[in-house]
Amino acid sequence: LTQLFRPLDMLGWVYRTIRQGLIDMADMFNLMDTEAEVKDVPGAPAIVVRHPVVVFENVSFGYDPDRQILHDLSFEAPAGATVALVGPSGAGKSTIGRLLFRFYDPWSGRITIDGQDISQVGQESLRAEIGIVPQDSVLFNDSIGYNIAYGRGDASEEAVRRAAADAAILPFITALPHGFDTQVGERGLKLSGGEKQRVAIARTLLKDPPIVLLDEATSALDSRTEQDILATLKRVSEHRTTLAIAHRLSTIADADIINVMEAGRIVESGSHARLLQADGLYAEMWNRQQNEASEEREAAE
Ligand code: ATP
């Protein structure tokens, strides 16, 4: 009989592993095509984060040896600050996020958090310090409560409710016939882009990490939803070191530092006001987006 059941056991294990793998990938910027390549150095200690300062020092990197993506890139995110990464598609913004989460190691240069080189610490401990709100979260085929508590199985019901409230999704959940027990995902209730993002926000608030990576949705949300989400995202970045990847500049205009990227390099850096004054790439992008927005408003009228 055991002979008969072993393959079934195996199948269950494979299924769970794949499912887990897929979700973990999805959590990280839809990295479905990424394989975990990095290994811990033997005896790597856990990272200890007291002052969540994130520093990229002369980082060069490419996914393939013959195609360099990041070129000698340096920037600092001071503890508690919000640092935005903006720039044209393919500039390397998400790549920075993947390196910070250590899906890959840089070719040269280093990335430190609170003075510790992230390639020298345990990956698990590193990832516990970083929360991610991806552009498009994939949810588990499980209850909405489970999806919020994911990674924090020990969270109390009260804590899950509070996180949902802070992510402004509590009224939506309590109005569902089965509340937090409502099944979501492919085989359950389908959530809108905005609702999924709120689940990701609630999950991050519950995890309560000192560092967060926000990857702004590229898909258009209607402007009211966008305003609501922005207000909730502010809550996520409060008191945390935040790296915000943005496409619409209006969403990061109040960031402490805006790094403008082009072809794997930071070409401008500063506050919104200073970058407008500098009248370079950022100003050009800003003016273009302002014009597009007013054209859309006119078209809607
Ligand atoms: P977007 O605004 O479109 O999201 P981005 O600035 O975030 O763009 P990245 O996703 O960092 O850009 O990609 C930078 C470059 O790296 C692109 O040219 C892309 O083709 C390449 N790239 C991204 N992921 C991989 C990968 N897994 N393997 C090989 N090349 C990749």
**pLDDT by residue (tens digit) across 152-174?**
878 899 999 999 999 889 999 99
Task: Say how far residue 212 (Cα) sits from the centre of its chain.
Answer: 7
pTM of the model: 0.83
Look at residue 92 in the predicted model and tell me its pLDDT.
Answer: 95
Tell me the mean pLDDT in the region 53-59: 98
C-alpha–C-alpha distance, residues 47 and 27, integer Å: 21
User: Hey, which of 31, 56, 61, 63 would you mutate to test ligand 1's pocket, going by the most ligand atoms within 8 Å of its Cβ?
Assistant: 63
Look at residue 12 in the predicted model and tell me its pLDDT.
Answer: 56
User: Hey, which of 64, 93, 135 would you mutate to test ligand 1's pocket, going by the most ligand atoms within 8 Å of its Cβ?
Assistant: 93
Exposed/middle/buried for residue 56 (C-beta within 10 Å: 0-12, 13-18, 19+): buried
C-alpha–C-alpha distance, residues 36 and 49, integer Å: 24
Share of residues in the chain with pLDDT > 90 (%): 59
**Matching residue, tokens 């949902």:** 164
- Residue 97 alpha carbon, nearest atom of ligand 1: 11
Atom 11 in ligand 1: residue holding the nearest Cα: 92
DSSP letter string, 103-165: SS--SEEEEEETTEEGGGS-HHHHHHTEEEE-SSPPPPSSBHHHHHHTT-TT--HHHHHHHHH
C-alpha–C-alpha distance, residues 126 and 16, integer Å: 24
C-alpha–C-alpha distance, residues 43 and 270, integer Å: 39
pLDDT at 22 over 50: no
Tell me the mean pLDDT in the region 268-292: 94
Q: Which of 99-108, 189-198, 251-260 has the lowest mean pLDDT?
A: 189-198
Look at residue 68 in the predicted model and tell me its pLDDT.
Answer: 97
Atom 3 in ligand 1: residue holding the nearest Cα: 89
User: How big is the chain, counted in residues?
Assistant: 301
Look at residue 36 in the predicted model and tell me its pLDDT.
Answer: 53
Look at residue 24 in the predicted model and tell me its pLDDT.
Answer: 45
Paired sense of beta strands 82-86 and 257-262, if any:
parallel
C-alpha–C-alpha distance, residues 35 and 100, integer Å: 15
Instruction: Please give all residues whose beta carbon lies within 6 A of any atom in ligand 1, as ranges.
Output: 33-34, 63, 69, 89-95
Q: With the CA atoms of 212, 21, 139 and 16 taken in that order, what torsion angle do they form, in degrees rounded to the nearest 10?
A: -140
pLDDT at 20 over 60: no
Query: In the structure, what pLDDT confidence band is assigned to residue 290 with cuts at 50, 70 and 90?
Result: confident
Instruction: Note whether 226 and 74 are within 8 A (CB).
Output: no
Query: In the structure, what pLDDT confidence band is assigned to residue 125 with cuts at 50, 70 and 90?
Result: very high
C-alpha–C-alpha distance, residues 165 and 146, integer Å: 15
Look at residue 189 in the predicted model and tell me its pLDDT.
Answer: 85
Residue 43: count of CB within 10 angstroms of its CB: 6
pLDDT at 32 over 70: no
Share of residues in the chain with pLDDT > 70 (%): 85
Q: How far is the CA of 148 from the centre of ligand 1 (A)?
A: 28
Q: How far is the CA of 22 from the centre of ligand 1 (A)?
A: 19
pLDDT at 4 over 60: no
Q: How far is the CA of 170 from the centre of ligand 1 (A)?
A: 35
Atom 28 in ligand 1: residue holding the nearest Cα: 63
Look at residue 25 in the predicted model and tell me its pLDDT.
Answer: 42
Q: How far is the CA of 187 from the centre of ligand 1 (A)?
A: 31
Q: How far is the CA of 26 from the centre of ligand 1 (A)?
A: 16
Mean of pLDDT over the chain: 86
Atom 17 in ligand 1: residue holding the nearest Cα: 90
User: Could you give the angle at the alpha carbon of 53 between the alpha carbons of 64 and 166, nearest 5°?
Assistant: 100
Q: How far is the CA of 244 from the centre of ligand 1 (A)?
A: 16
Look at residue 108 in the predicted model and tell me its pLDDT.
Answer: 98
C-alpha–C-alpha distance, residues 127 and 65, integer Å: 26
What ipTM did this prediction achieve? 0.97
pLDDT at 29 over 60: no
Atom 23 in ligand 1: residue holding the nearest Cα: 95
Q: Which of 30-34, 36-40, 93-97, 129-133 has the lowest mean pLDDT?
A: 30-34
176-222 confidence digits (pLDDT tens)? 999 999 999 888 888 888 888 889 999 999 999 999 999 876 555 66
Atom 26 in ligand 1: residue holding the nearest Cα: 63
Tell me the mean pLDDT in the region 247-276: 94
